[in-house]
């Protein structure tokens, strides 16, 4: 019985620490709130950054983490950082999409085109991993 109360106290303590250090609210519908901004999934599958006060869509991103970082920088009015995040998001998504396309194509190609597509597959995979690492590092520096 005593261990259950200790576990509950620890859970409450960690929840309070998380709320104090990470000003992100997780909503029941899967959306995220950051101060005056809301990040929620759009019907097209992208993530939109909305202003809570006037309900306007500010921008949309392919990755949820990029949309959340953008919400923070919109809040601080650092629009150059928002533009940088948008470029990283687009670069990652274009390379990731190419990777999926080349993976789908590679088994259906004749032998003379196989090496060309394999090279493009490797290049797009490497580029998408590169942008993924940059976005992850930026996310850590933004919120940690």
The whole-chain average pLDDT of the chain stands at 89
Residue 60 near residue 71 (C-beta atoms within 8 A):
no
List pLDDT tens digits, range 14-29.
667 666 666 788 888 8
Place of tokens 């520096």: 141
Range 49-53 contact pairs with CB under 8 angstroms and sequence separation of 24 or more: 49/74
Residue 73 near residue 79 (C-beta atoms within 8 A):
yes
Count other Cβ atoms within 10 Å, centred on residue 65.
19
Find the range with the poorest average confidence among 9-13, 18-22, 77-81. 18-22
Please give the residue that has the higher pLDDT: either 3 or 52.
52
How far apart CA 144 and CA 139 sit, in angstroms, is 8
Give percent above pLDDT 70 in the chain: 92
Task: Please name the residue ranges forming H helices in the chain.
Answer: 2-21, 64-75, 79-105, 111-143
Domain boundaries, the chain: 23-143
List pLDDT tens digits, range 27-72.
888 899 998 899 999 999 999 999 998 889 999 999 999 999 999 9
């Amino acid at each position: 019985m005593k261990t259950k109360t200790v576990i509950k106290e620890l859970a409450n303590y960690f929840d309070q620490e998380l709320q104090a250090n990470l000003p992100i609210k997780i909503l029941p519908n899967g959306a995220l709130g950051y101060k005056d901004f809301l990040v929620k999934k759009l019907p097209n599958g992208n993530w939109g950054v909305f202003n809570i006060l006037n309900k306007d869509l500010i921008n949309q991103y392919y990755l949820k983490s990029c949309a959340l970082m953008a919400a923070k920088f919109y809040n601080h009015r650092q629009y150059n950082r928002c533009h940088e995040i948008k470029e990283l998001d687009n670069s990652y998504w274009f390379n990731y999409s190419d990777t999926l396309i080349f993976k789908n194509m590679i088994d259906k190609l004749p032998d003379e085109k196989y090496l060309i597509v394999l090279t493009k597959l490797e290049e797009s995979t490497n580029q998408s991993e590169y942008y993924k690492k940059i976005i992850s590092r930026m996310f850590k520096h933004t919120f940690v």
